[in-house]
Protein backbone atom coordinates (compact mmCIF):
# COMPACT_ATOMS: atom_id res chain seq x y z
CA UNK A 1 0.00 0.00 0.00
CA UNK A 2 2.83 2.35 0.84
CA UNK A 3 4.16 1.76 -2.71
CA UNK A 4 0.82 2.75 -4.19
CA UNK A 5 0.69 5.92 -2.07
CA UNK A 6 4.18 6.81 -3.25
CA UNK A 7 3.40 6.38 -6.94
CA UNK A 8 0.18 8.42 -6.74
CA UNK A 9 2.08 11.13 -4.85
CA UNK A 10 4.57 11.32 -7.72
CA UNK A 11 1.73 11.62 -10.24
CA UNK A 12 0.13 14.41 -8.21
CA UNK A 13 3.41 16.31 -8.00
CA UNK A 14 4.08 16.00 -11.73
CA UNK A 15 0.61 17.15 -12.77
CA UNK A 16 0.63 20.31 -14.96
CA UNK A 17 -2.79 21.48 -16.13
CA UNK A 18 -3.40 23.75 -19.11
CA UNK A 19 -7.04 24.52 -18.48
CA UNK A 20 -9.55 24.56 -15.65
CA UNK A 21 -11.00 21.43 -17.25
CA UNK A 22 -7.72 19.56 -16.75
CA UNK A 23 -7.94 20.37 -13.05
CA UNK A 24 -11.49 19.07 -12.82
CA UNK A 25 -10.46 15.83 -14.54
CA UNK A 26 -7.58 15.54 -12.09
CA UNK A 27 -9.97 15.97 -9.18
CA UNK A 28 -12.30 13.29 -10.55
CA UNK A 29 -9.39 10.91 -11.18
CA UNK A 30 -8.01 11.13 -7.66
CA UNK A 31 -10.50 12.59 -5.23
CA UNK A 32 -14.03 11.79 -6.43
CA UNK A 33 -15.85 8.89 -4.77
CA UNK A 34 -14.39 6.50 -7.33
CA UNK A 35 -11.05 8.30 -7.50
CA UNK A 36 -7.83 6.47 -6.73
CA UNK A 37 -7.06 8.31 -3.51
CA UNK A 38 -10.60 7.65 -2.25
CA UNK A 39 -10.09 3.98 -3.18
CA UNK A 40 -7.00 3.90 -0.98
CA UNK A 41 -9.08 5.15 1.93
CA UNK A 42 -11.51 2.28 1.28
CA UNK A 43 -8.60 -0.21 1.28
CA UNK A 44 -7.32 1.30 4.51
CA UNK A 45 -9.85 -0.86 6.42
CA UNK A 46 -7.88 -3.94 5.48
CA UNK A 47 -4.54 -2.60 6.71
CA UNK A 48 -3.21 -4.56 9.74
CA UNK A 49 -3.58 -2.65 13.00
CA UNK A 50 0.16 -2.27 13.60
CA UNK A 51 0.62 -0.45 10.23
CA UNK A 52 -2.46 1.71 10.48
CA UNK A 53 -0.66 4.62 12.15
CA UNK A 54 2.09 4.95 9.56
CA UNK A 55 -0.06 4.34 6.47
CA UNK A 56 -2.88 6.54 7.74
CA UNK A 57 -0.45 9.40 8.13
CA UNK A 58 0.91 9.01 4.61
CA UNK A 59 -2.57 8.74 3.18
CA UNK A 60 -3.66 11.96 4.83
CA UNK A 61 -0.55 13.76 3.58
CA UNK A 62 -1.32 12.56 0.05
CA UNK A 63 -4.93 13.72 0.17
CA UNK A 64 -3.90 17.08 1.56
CA UNK A 65 -1.26 17.53 -1.16
CA UNK A 66 -3.79 16.73 -3.91
CA UNK A 67 -6.33 19.17 -2.50
CA UNK A 68 -3.77 21.92 -2.14
CA UNK A 69 -2.52 21.38 -5.65
CA UNK A 70 -6.04 21.70 -7.03
CA UNK A 71 -6.71 24.89 -5.10
CA UNK A 72 -3.52 26.72 -6.01
CA UNK A 73 -3.57 25.70 -9.68
CA UNK A 74 -7.22 26.69 -9.98
CA UNK A 75 -6.55 30.10 -8.44
CA UNK A 76 -3.59 30.73 -10.76
CA UNK A 77 -5.49 29.72 -13.88
CA UNK A 78 -8.52 31.78 -12.93
CA UNK A 79 -6.37 34.90 -12.55
CA UNK A 80 -4.83 34.23 -15.96
CA UNK A 81 -8.17 33.74 -17.63
CA UNK A 82 -9.65 36.81 -16.04
CA UNK A 83 -6.74 39.04 -17.01
CA UNK A 84 -6.86 37.72 -20.57
CA UNK A 85 -10.36 39.00 -20.85
CA UNK A 86 -9.22 42.43 -19.66
CA UNK A 87 -6.54 42.84 -22.35
CA UNK A 88 -7.90 44.81 -25.28
CA UNK A 89 -5.65 43.85 -28.16
CA UNK A 90 -6.99 46.63 -30.36
CA UNK A 91 -5.91 49.36 -27.92
CA UNK A 92 -3.11 51.58 -29.28
CA UNK A 93 0.21 51.12 -27.48
CA UNK A 94 1.58 53.60 -24.98
CA UNK A 95 3.89 56.00 -26.82
CA UNK A 96 7.52 55.70 -25.71
CA UNK A 97 9.65 58.80 -25.79
CA UNK A 98 12.81 58.03 -27.68
CA UNK A 99 15.96 59.76 -26.53
CA UNK A 100 18.22 61.51 -29.01
CA UNK A 101 21.97 61.54 -29.20
CA UNK A 102 23.89 64.60 -28.12
CA UNK A 103 24.90 66.76 -31.13
CA UNK A 104 28.57 66.38 -30.14
CA UNK A 105 28.20 62.59 -30.26
CA UNK A 106 26.42 62.78 -33.62
CA UNK A 107 29.15 64.94 -35.17
CA UNK A 108 31.93 62.88 -33.58
CA UNK A 109 30.49 59.69 -35.10
CA UNK A 110 30.16 61.38 -38.46
CA UNK A 111 33.78 62.59 -38.45
CA UNK A 112 34.99 59.15 -37.34
CA UNK A 113 33.02 57.41 -40.07
CA UNK A 114 34.51 59.71 -42.75
CA UNK A 115 38.09 59.02 -41.69
CA UNK A 116 37.60 55.30 -41.05
CA UNK A 117 36.61 55.05 -44.72
CA UNK A 118 40.16 56.22 -45.44
CA UNK A 119 41.63 53.52 -43.22
CA UNK A 120 42.09 55.49 -39.98
CA UNK A 121 41.46 53.59 -36.77
CA UNK A 122 40.20 55.09 -33.51
CA UNK A 123 42.61 55.19 -30.57
CA UNK A 124 42.10 56.26 -27.01
CA UNK A 125 44.29 57.81 -24.34
CA UNK A 126 44.11 59.21 -20.80
CA UNK A 127 42.61 62.61 -20.01
CA UNK A 128 45.04 62.98 -17.11
CA UNK A 129 48.46 63.23 -18.70
CA UNK A 130 52.05 63.91 -17.84
CA UNK A 131 53.89 66.92 -19.19
CA UNK A 132 55.99 64.72 -21.47
CA UNK A 133 53.11 63.33 -23.54
CA UNK A 134 51.13 66.56 -23.63
CA UNK A 135 54.06 68.90 -24.30
CA UNK A 136 57.62 67.58 -24.10
CA UNK A 137 57.54 64.85 -26.73
CA UNK A 138 55.53 67.17 -28.97
CA UNK A 139 58.37 69.66 -29.18
CA UNK A 140 56.92 72.36 -26.93
CA UNK A 141 59.83 74.49 -25.69
CA UNK A 142 60.25 74.71 -21.88
CA UNK A 143 59.04 78.31 -21.83
CA UNK A 144 56.05 77.84 -24.15
CA UNK A 145 53.05 79.83 -22.83
CA UNK A 146 50.77 76.75 -23.02
CA UNK A 147 52.84 75.27 -20.19
CA UNK A 148 51.76 78.13 -18.00
CA UNK A 149 49.17 77.65 -15.22
CA UNK A 150 47.20 80.40 -16.94
CA UNK A 151 46.51 78.10 -19.89
CA UNK A 152 46.71 74.58 -18.55
CA UNK A 153 45.05 72.87 -15.60
CA UNK A 154 47.82 71.25 -13.58
CA UNK A 155 46.68 68.57 -11.15
CA UNK A 156 50.02 68.32 -9.55
CA UNK A 157 52.36 71.07 -10.76
CA UNK A 158 55.46 69.65 -9.07
CA UNK A 159 54.95 66.26 -10.71
CA UNK A 160 53.82 67.90 -13.94
CA UNK A 161 50.55 65.98 -14.02
CA UNK A 162 47.87 67.86 -15.94
CA UNK A 163 44.57 67.63 -17.78
CA UNK A 164 45.45 67.18 -21.43
CA UNK A 165 45.08 70.34 -23.48
CA UNK A 166 44.77 68.48 -26.79
CA UNK A 167 44.45 64.90 -27.98
CA UNK A 168 47.86 65.15 -29.66
CA UNK A 169 48.96 63.52 -26.39
CA UNK A 170 47.35 60.28 -27.62
CA UNK A 171 49.52 60.54 -30.72
CA UNK A 172 52.64 60.88 -28.55
CA UNK A 173 51.63 57.57 -26.91
CA UNK A 174 50.96 55.97 -30.29
CA UNK A 175 54.21 57.03 -31.88
CA UNK A 176 56.33 55.94 -28.93
CA UNK A 177 54.52 52.64 -28.44
CA UNK A 178 53.86 51.25 -31.92
CA UNK A 179 55.85 51.15 -35.14
CA UNK A 180 54.77 52.90 -38.36
CA UNK A 181 52.70 52.69 -40.48
CA UNK A 182 50.28 54.48 -38.14
CA UNK A 183 46.95 55.84 -39.30
CA UNK A 184 45.00 56.81 -36.23
CA UNK A 185 42.23 59.05 -35.08
CA UNK A 186 41.98 60.21 -31.48
CA UNK A 187 38.69 61.71 -30.36
CA UNK A 188 38.30 62.91 -26.79
CA UNK A 189 37.74 65.58 -24.21
CA UNK A 190 40.40 68.23 -23.64
CA UNK A 191 40.77 70.97 -21.02
CA UNK A 192 42.03 74.53 -21.16
CA UNK A 193 42.09 77.21 -18.54
CA UNK A 194 39.85 79.63 -20.44
CA UNK A 195 37.13 82.02 -19.35
CA UNK A 196 33.75 80.58 -20.36
CA UNK A 197 32.06 82.50 -23.17
CA UNK A 198 30.01 81.93 -26.33
CA UNK A 199 33.20 80.92 -28.12
CA UNK A 200 35.29 79.19 -25.46
CA UNK A 201 34.88 76.75 -22.60
CA UNK A 202 37.24 75.23 -20.06
CA UNK A 203 36.71 71.84 -21.69
CA UNK A 204 35.68 70.78 -25.17
CA UNK A 205 36.15 67.88 -27.58
CA UNK A 206 38.74 67.30 -30.24
CA UNK A 207 39.48 64.78 -32.93
CA UNK A 208 43.04 64.55 -34.09
CA UNK A 209 44.36 62.44 -36.93
CA UNK A 210 47.85 61.09 -37.51
CA UNK A 211 49.32 59.34 -40.53
CA UNK A 212 52.92 58.15 -40.40
CA UNK A 213 54.54 56.04 -43.11
CA UNK A 214 57.27 56.22 -45.74
CA UNK A 215 56.64 58.95 -48.33
CA UNK A 216 53.65 60.65 -46.73
CA UNK A 217 53.46 64.10 -48.30
CA UNK A 218 51.75 67.45 -47.79
CA UNK A 219 49.68 66.64 -50.90
CA UNK A 220 48.32 63.56 -49.08
CA UNK A 221 47.33 65.81 -46.19
CA UNK A 222 45.56 68.25 -48.47
CA UNK A 223 43.71 65.47 -50.32
CA UNK A 224 42.61 63.89 -47.05
CA UNK A 225 41.25 67.16 -45.68
CA UNK A 226 39.58 68.05 -48.98
CA UNK A 227 37.81 64.68 -48.92
CA UNK A 228 36.79 65.28 -45.31
CA UNK A 229 35.36 68.76 -46.05
CA UNK A 230 33.31 67.49 -48.99
CA UNK A 231 31.94 64.52 -47.03
CA UNK A 232 31.15 66.68 -44.01
CA UNK A 233 29.83 69.86 -45.58
CA UNK A 234 28.72 68.72 -49.06
CA UNK A 235 30.20 68.26 -52.54
CA UNK A 236 30.55 71.98 -53.19
CA UNK A 237 32.70 72.61 -50.08
CA UNK A 238 36.18 74.00 -50.83
CA UNK A 239 39.16 74.21 -48.51
CA UNK A 240 42.06 76.62 -48.32
CA UNK A 241 45.23 76.41 -46.28
CA UNK A 242 46.92 79.30 -44.52
CA UNK A 243 50.46 79.03 -43.13
CA UNK A 244 50.47 78.73 -39.35
CA UNK A 245 52.60 77.52 -36.46
CA UNK A 246 52.34 74.53 -34.12
CA UNK A 247 55.37 73.25 -32.18
CA UNK A 248 54.76 69.67 -33.33
CA UNK A 249 54.32 70.22 -37.08
CA UNK A 250 56.51 71.82 -39.71
CA UNK A 251 55.25 73.21 -42.02
CA UNK A 252 51.93 73.93 -40.29
CA UNK A 253 48.69 75.26 -41.66
CA UNK A 254 45.27 76.36 -40.63
CA UNK A 255 42.46 75.11 -42.80
CA UNK A 256 39.33 77.05 -43.76
CA UNK A 257 36.24 75.68 -45.42
CA UNK A 258 34.09 77.74 -47.76
CA UNK A 259 31.28 79.24 -45.69
CA UNK A 260 28.61 76.62 -45.06
CA UNK A 261 25.91 79.31 -45.06
CA UNK A 262 26.64 81.58 -48.02
CA UNK A 263 28.84 79.16 -49.98
CA UNK A 264 31.66 81.71 -50.19
CA UNK A 265 29.97 84.91 -51.26
CA UNK A 266 30.23 86.48 -47.78
CA UNK A 267 27.71 86.73 -44.94
CA UNK A 268 27.65 87.62 -41.27
CA UNK A 269 28.62 84.07 -40.17
CA UNK A 270 31.88 84.20 -42.14
CA UNK A 271 32.17 87.95 -41.46
CA UNK A 272 32.07 88.67 -45.15
CA UNK A 273 35.19 86.61 -45.92
CA UNK A 274 33.47 83.56 -47.42
CA UNK A 275 35.67 81.25 -45.29
CA UNK A 276 35.39 79.55 -41.89
CA UNK A 277 38.34 78.16 -39.96
CA UNK A 278 37.88 74.47 -39.12
CA UNK A 279 41.19 72.90 -38.12
CA UNK A 280 44.96 72.98 -37.67
CA UNK A 281 47.36 70.62 -39.38
CA UNK A 282 50.87 70.06 -40.64
CA UNK A 283 53.69 67.63 -41.32
CA UNK A 284 54.97 65.95 -38.14
CA UNK A 285 58.10 67.77 -36.96
CA UNK A 286 61.24 65.57 -37.15
CA UNK A 287 61.94 66.49 -33.50
CA UNK A 288 58.66 64.81 -32.50
CA UNK A 289 59.68 61.65 -34.37
CA UNK A 290 63.04 61.67 -32.61
CA UNK A 291 61.57 62.00 -29.13
CA UNK A 292 59.13 59.16 -29.91
CA UNK A 293 61.83 56.84 -31.26
CA UNK A 294 60.81 57.00 -34.96
CA UNK A 295 63.50 57.50 -37.60
CA UNK A 296 62.79 60.90 -39.27
CA UNK A 297 65.05 59.97 -42.20
CA UNK A 298 62.83 57.03 -43.06
CA UNK A 299 59.36 58.22 -42.13
CA UNK A 300 57.24 61.30 -42.72
CA UNK A 301 53.74 61.97 -41.48
CA UNK A 302 50.92 64.42 -41.22
CA UNK A 303 48.69 65.37 -38.32
CA UNK A 304 45.55 67.41 -38.02
CA UNK A 305 43.28 68.41 -35.18
CA UNK A 306 39.83 69.91 -34.97
CA UNK A 307 37.33 70.91 -32.29
CA UNK A 308 34.14 68.87 -32.52
CA UNK A 309 32.06 71.72 -31.07
CA UNK A 310 33.35 74.05 -33.78
CA UNK A 311 32.34 71.61 -36.55
CA UNK A 312 28.94 71.07 -34.91
CA UNK A 313 28.39 74.83 -34.62
CA UNK A 314 29.08 75.25 -38.33
CA UNK A 315 27.01 72.27 -39.32
CA UNK A 316 23.94 73.22 -37.29
CA UNK A 317 24.33 77.00 -37.27
CA UNK A 318 24.76 77.19 -33.47
CA UNK A 319 26.09 80.53 -32.22
CA UNK A 320 26.83 79.78 -28.56
CA UNK A 321 29.21 77.01 -27.47
CA UNK A 322 27.70 76.90 -23.99
CA UNK A 323 24.49 75.33 -25.35
CA UNK A 324 26.35 72.05 -25.79
CA UNK A 325 27.07 71.77 -22.08
CA UNK A 326 23.88 73.03 -20.47
CA UNK A 327 21.85 69.90 -21.27
CA UNK A 328 18.70 71.91 -21.85
CA UNK A 329 16.20 69.41 -23.28
CA UNK A 330 14.67 72.08 -25.53
CA UNK A 331 18.04 72.26 -27.26
CA UNK A 332 18.91 68.55 -27.20
CA UNK A 333 15.49 67.41 -28.48
CA UNK A 334 16.16 69.12 -31.79
CA UNK A 335 18.77 66.56 -32.74
CA UNK A 336 18.08 63.10 -33.97
CA UNK A 337 20.27 60.75 -35.84
CA UNK A 338 20.77 57.15 -36.84
CA UNK A 339 24.54 57.28 -36.31
N1 LIG B 1 46.77 70.07 -31.25
C2 LIG B 1 46.38 71.25 -31.99
C3 LIG B 1 45.42 72.05 -31.13
O4 LIG B 1 45.09 71.64 -30.07
C5 LIG B 1 45.73 70.93 -33.31
C6 LIG B 1 46.70 70.32 -34.28
C7 LIG B 1 46.80 68.93 -34.34
C8 LIG B 1 47.44 71.08 -35.11
C9 LIG B 1 47.67 68.37 -35.23
C10 LIG B 1 48.31 70.53 -36.01
C11 LIG B 1 48.41 69.16 -36.07
O12 LIG B 1 44.98 73.09 -31.52
pLDDT at 103: 94
Domain boundaries defined on the chain: 2-83, 103-332
Q: What DSSP state is assigned to residue 136? A: G
Pick from 281, 233, 235: nearest CA to 257? 233
Dihedral (CA of 77, 80, 85, 90) sign = negative
Atom of ligand 1 nearest to the CA of 168: 1
Cβ 208 vs Cβ 185: under 8 Å: yes
pTM equals: 0.72
| 281-336 residue pLDDT tens | 999 999 999 999 999 999 999 999 999 999 999 888 888 899 999 999 899 988 87
pLDDT at 135: 94
Pick from 17, 245, 278, 281: nearest CA to 140? 245
CATH superfamily for 103-332 is Bira Bifunctional Protein; Domain 2 (3.30.930.10)
| 144-180 residue pLDDT tens | 887 877 789 999 878 789 999 999 999 999 999 999 9
- Per-residue pLDDT band for 85 (boundaries 50, 70, 90) equals low
Q: Tell me how far the alpha carbon of residue 260 lies from the centroid of ligand 1, in angstroms.
A: 22
Atom of ligand 1 nearest to the CA of 166: 4
Q: What is the mean pLDDT of residues 69-94?
A: 75
| 234-291 residue pLDDT tens | 999 999 999 999 999 999 999 999 988 788 888 877 888 999 999 999 999 999 999 9
Instruction: Determine the residue of 145, 147, 248, 279 to mutate for testing ligand 1's pocket, defined as the one with the most ligand atoms within 8 A of the Cβ atom.
Output: 248
Q: What is the mean pLDDT of residues 190-218?
A: 94
Is the predicted pLDDT of residue 339 greater than 60, yes or no? no
Is the predicted pLDDT of residue 80 greater than 70, yes or no? no
Q: What is the rounded CA–CA span in Å between residue 148 and residue 162? A: 11
Amino acid sequence: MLEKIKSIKAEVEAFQPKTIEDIENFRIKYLSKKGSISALFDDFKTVPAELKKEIGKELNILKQAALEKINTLKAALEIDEKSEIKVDLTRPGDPQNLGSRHPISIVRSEIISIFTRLGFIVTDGPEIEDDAHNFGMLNFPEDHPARDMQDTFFISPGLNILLRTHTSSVQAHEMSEIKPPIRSLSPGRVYRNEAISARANCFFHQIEGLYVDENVSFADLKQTLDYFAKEMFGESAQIRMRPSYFPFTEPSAEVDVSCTLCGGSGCNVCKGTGWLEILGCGMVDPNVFKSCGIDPEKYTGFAFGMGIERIAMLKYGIRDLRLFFENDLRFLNQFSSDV
